[in-house]
Amino acid sequence: MILTGILSVLTLKTLLMILGGTIVGIIVGSVPGLTVTMGVALFLPITFGMSPVEGLSLLMALYIGGTSGGLISAILLKIPGTPASIATTFDGAPMAARGEAGRALGIGIVFSFIGGMLSLVVLFTLSPFLADVALQFGPFEYFSIALFSLTLVAGLSGNSLLRGTIAAVLGVSVALVGMAPITGFPRLTFGISELDAGISLLPALIGLFAISQVLDYAEGDTDGAVSAEELKRHPIRGFGLSLQETLGQTWNALRSSAIGVAIGILPGLGAAVCNIIAYGAARKASKTPEKFGTGIIDGIVASESSNNASTGGAMVPLMTLGIPGDNTTAILLAGFMIHGITPGPLLFDNDAVLVYGIFTALVVANVAMLGALFFGLPFFVKVLAVPRNILLPVIVSLCVIGAYAINNRMFDVWTMLAFGLVGYAMKKARLPTTPLLLGFILAPIIETNLRRGLQKSQDSFLPFLTEPISGTILVMTLIVVIYTLWAQLGLRRHKRAQPVAEARRREA
């Protein structure tokens, strides 16, 4: 059955569809506002007339390609193509600004492939066990893990924890707009009916990172982001990194991939969360955390390993339990149902050939992604040499199209522009935008599961502490907060003592 499943994918027609789907996915992922979910949903009707293996292979290829494609605009334009590539901008864009765009893209491509393949190994070997673990997570555990994720604000706040905290609180406040979870009571809508559903993540993301960056670029005097001469000084050789550098990132890639798989398995979190968490974990584990954000390969490795690893993680509950791990796998579930296939525990027994065909399609799609991005490297880098008076209007047009296409309403375009002004003002005030986005993403998860947990426990907070998994995570959260505050106080004492010590040395 394994051999039959593999051979069912290794036909010319299926391989061409996987290659084409991967390329289309990369294009969709690289355009701000055009999400992976949107790309898979658009191609879902096309699979009606295909065989199950062909149709699902095409959808899997779009999923893999779309998740990876976000690194292109994240590195070249400092604009994440998808929420999964937010953290890639932190170090990818500074490398591109130094003329090392090809190297940054190469690093991202290689570790996107590594993260994706590691997650597939987990999917192939540990799916039933991991699905059982994921079933142990209820509202108490989801609340605790989301609260723990908020501690990453310290690592994403730069030199000022206060500024990062202010930005995170602003993000949480924005997330409160709209209908309250569970009760459905409208909050902070001010009579505007469009706000009843809350503020969508993608228009906010495009505004914070794309429009604010366009406004920032528009202030510059140069015609191009990077001169052609600067690009020539850093020619692309292979993927831009040596074997020694690759091996040096082994632990970072393994840790980040594990985070991606773990977050991907838990329904409702997804790649938008895991890439930021993996970046924060890499920064905390680094011996030189001050270099993060200046163009260090560790940051790109962490982000791209984790977001691509989340694809395999999200497939675990889908294949073994029939539960989608994120929005895109919800569309993939519809793809299964269209062909009369019901994912779940019996899928591995009743349709093993299809299961192994899907596994093979995922592997082939990752290889196709590696090849497509590698051969496109020289063309991607040329974007940096395009004059800004041509490039910026194109970016804004794509952003408007992407924001409008999410829900087909102009309100999302105005939301995008408003967040663009907010992001621009935050840059001028030296407030980091990433903690705002982190608070915006995590606040609904925290609030929803807090309410569910309190309903389940009849308004008692005790189970949040007494449940083993939840209690352990909350203790870890407390330890991290205490350690962060202690480290910040120690850093302030060190800075205050430096002038005194320098004066004493001069006197001596």
> Is residue 235 predicted with pLDDT exceeding 60?
no
Residue 254 CB neighbours (<10 A): 15
| Predicted model pTM | 0.77
What is the pLDDT at residue 364?
92
Query: Which stretches within 266-351 are classed as H helix?
Result: 271-285, 297-321, 327-338, 347-350
C-alpha–C-alpha distance, residues 200 and 272, integer Å: 13
The tens digit of pLDDT for each residue in 323-339 reads 776 778 878 888 888 87
DSSP 287: S
Burial string for 463-483 (b: 16+ CB within 10 Å, else e) reads bbeebeebbebbeebeebeee
What is the pLDDT at residue 479?
84
Structure token digits, residue 115 = 């993260």
Higher pLDDT, 316 or 89: 89
**Consecutive H or E run containing 42:** helix 36-43
> Is residue 225 predicted with pLDDT exceeding 60?
no
Query: Binning pLDDT at 50, 70 and 90, where does residue 496 land?
Result: low
Query: Binning pLDDT at 50, 70 and 90, where does residue 255 land?
Result: very high
Residue 503 CB neighbours (<10 A): 10
- String of DSSP letters for 362-404: HHHHHHHHHHHHHHHHHHHHGGGGSBHHHHHHHHHHHHHHHHH
What is the pLDDT at residue 367?
92
Q: Are strands 178-179 and 186-187 parallel, antiparallel or unpaired?
A: antiparallel
What is the pLDDT at residue 305?
92
Burial string for 377-399 (b: 16+ CB within 10 Å, else e) reads beebbebbbeebeebbeebbebb
Residue 372 CB neighbours (<10 A): 20
> Is residue 256 predicted with pLDDT exceeding 80?
yes
> Is residue 33 predicted with pLDDT exceeding 80?
no
DSSP 208: I
Higher pLDDT, 147 or 222: 147
Asked if residues 376 and 65 have their Cβ atoms less than 8 Å apart, the reply is: no
C-alpha–C-alpha distance, residues 348 and 234, integer Å: 49
> What's the whole-number mean pLDDT along residues 195-222?
79
The tens digit of pLDDT for each residue in 282-315 reads 888 888 888 888 888 898 999 999 988 888 888 8
E strand spans, 156-312 = 178-179, 186-187
Query: Binning pLDDT at 50, 70 and 90, where does residue 501 land?
Result: low
> Is residue 229 predicted with pLDDT exceeding 60?
no
- Residues of the chain with pLDDT > 70, as a percent, come to 86
C-alpha–C-alpha distance, residues 34 and 38, integer Å: 7
Name the CA dihedral angle for 172, 177, 183, 186, rounded to a multiple of 10 degrees: 160
Range with lowest mean pLDDT among 56-60, 158-162, 280-284: 158-162
Cα torsion angle, 30, 36, 42, 43, sign = positive
> What's the whole-number mean pLDDT along residues 119-129?
81
> Is residue 52 predicted with pLDDT exceeding 80?
yes
- Residues of the chain with pLDDT > 90, as a percent, come to 8
> Is residue 158 predicted with pLDDT exceeding 80?
no
The tens digit of pLDDT for each residue in 394-440 reads 888 888 887 887 778 888 889 989 998 998 888 888 888 878 887 88
Mean pLDDT of the chain: 81
CA 109, 115, 120: angle at the middle one, nearest 5? 125
Please give the single-letter amino acid code of residue 348: F
CB-count burial class (<10 Å; 0-12, 13-18, 19+) for 322: middle
Structure token digits, residue 94 = 């500074």
Query: Binning pLDDT at 50, 70 and 90, where does residue 357 land?
Result: confident
C-alpha–C-alpha distance, residues 119 and 263, integer Å: 12
Q: Which residues contact 6 (CB under 8 A, 6 or more apart)?
A: 356, 357, 360
C-alpha–C-alpha distance, residues 78 and 92, integer Å: 8
> Is residue 254 predicted with pLDDT exceeding 80?
yes
Tokens 């905290």: give the residue. 165
